[in-house]
Amino acid sequence: MVKVHDATDQALGRFLQDRRAKLDPASFGFSSARRRTPGLRREEVAQRANISSAWYVCLEQGRGGAPSSDVLDKLARALLLTDAEREHLFVFGLGRAPESRYKRPDDIEPRVQRVLDQLSPAPAFIKTATWDVVAWNHAATVLWPNFAELALPERNTLRMVFLDPQAQTLYYDWEGVARMAVAAFRADVARAGAMAEVAAMVDELSRSSPAFKAMWQDNDVSATAHATKDLRHPVLGTLNFEASIFGVDGRQDLTMMIFMPTSTEVAERIRSHLEA
């Protein structure tokens, strides 16, 4: 009987061999002459990863045991793995996905924007792990300022909660919403490994908002909650929503937040307002 960890070691080795075989030696400055098999040689991968050739050979042969996350990261870079392939490598090597690492998002794909647009009259937007809004639908402008008219640093939902005067009146329980936002923001940023990226904004909010400073110093952490929200609109009156958060397929760095009207009457009020 093959032991589970033996099978995993072998799977890791096969995956490394497969990725190595798909790389073009000439792209890395290695000679393509006298190669019996396609791709990089083992010692060339080890050289690119800055690990010993003997250790890499052991990993491919299923004899190396569990490599460290640092070694797996080096191998992922050496083999030019995609994010999905890197996660696969970690699952084979350590039995778990890698810790999140923050990176600035690329442009939103048209297919994702089409999903947002089809959700109208439900306000919806997509935000990063640091809560920067990177895409939204027209219905979102019913509740928040038109993000397109804001400078990039101002398109941040946490900043808006504390520095946008409209937010103070939008939420019936502003203090409760703000406190939950700070706790969820801290958790999201820490999970993404992006505390350094938000340090300047945290300092700015602490100087500009005594309420934020006090809440941030409480060090509360919470998951973002799916909840019913009652919002106060200056023209449409009270609007009731079910707020939900979803991942974006293929983009672990992004989440989609949807405010779904709880009744057709609320949806029609929003639709009429948008068409006016």
Query: Degrees (nearest 5) of the Cα angle 214, 167, 140?
Result: 130
C-alpha distance across the termini of the chain, in Å = 71
Phi and psi angles of residue 136, each rounded to the nearest 5 degrees, phi first: -160, 165
Residues 66-93 as b/e (b if ≥16 CB within 10 A, e otherwise) read ebeeebbbbbbebbebeeeebbbbbbbb
CA dist 215 and 129 (Å) reads: 19
Q: What is the pLDDT of residue 102?
A: 56
User: Given phi > 0 = left and psi -120 to 50 = alpha, else beta, which region is 40?
Assistant: beta
CA dist 121 and 197 (Å) reads: 34
Q: What is the pLDDT of residue 68?
A: 87
Given CATH 1.10.260.40, say whether it is the number of domain 4-94: yes
Q: What is the pLDDT of residue 4?
A: 37
CA dist 22 and 88 (Å) reads: 16
Q: Mean pLDDT by 10-residue block, N- to C-terminus, for the chain (276 residues)?
A: 51 88 87 84 91 90 82 90 83 77 67 93 94 94 88 91 90 92 91 87 96 94 79 94 89 88 96 92
CA dist 66 and 12 (Å) reads: 10
Regarding the domain delimited by 110-275, which CATH topology (the fold level of the hierarchy) does it fall under?
Beta-Lactamase (3.30.450)
Q: What is the pLDDT of residue 127?
A: 94
What is the model's pTM? 0.68
Phi and psi angles of residue 63, each rounded to the nearest 5 degrees, phi first: -115, 5
β-pair partners for 124: 258
Q: How many residues does the chain have?
A: 276
Domain ranges in the chain are 4-94, 110-275
Residues 6+ apart with CB under 8 A from 235: 273
CA dihedral 23, 29, 32, 38 (to 10 degrees): -10
Q: What is the pLDDT of residue 100?
A: 61
pLDDT digits (tens, 9 = 90+) for 211-270: 999 999 998 888 766 788 899 999 999 999 999 999 888 777 789 999 999 999 999 999
User: Given phi > 0 = left and psi -120 to 50 = alpha, else beta, which region is 2?
Assistant: beta
- From 134, 111, 114, 137, select the one nearest 260 (Cα to Cα): 137
Q: What is the pLDDT of residue 159?
A: 95
Q: What is the pLDDT of residue 101?
A: 61
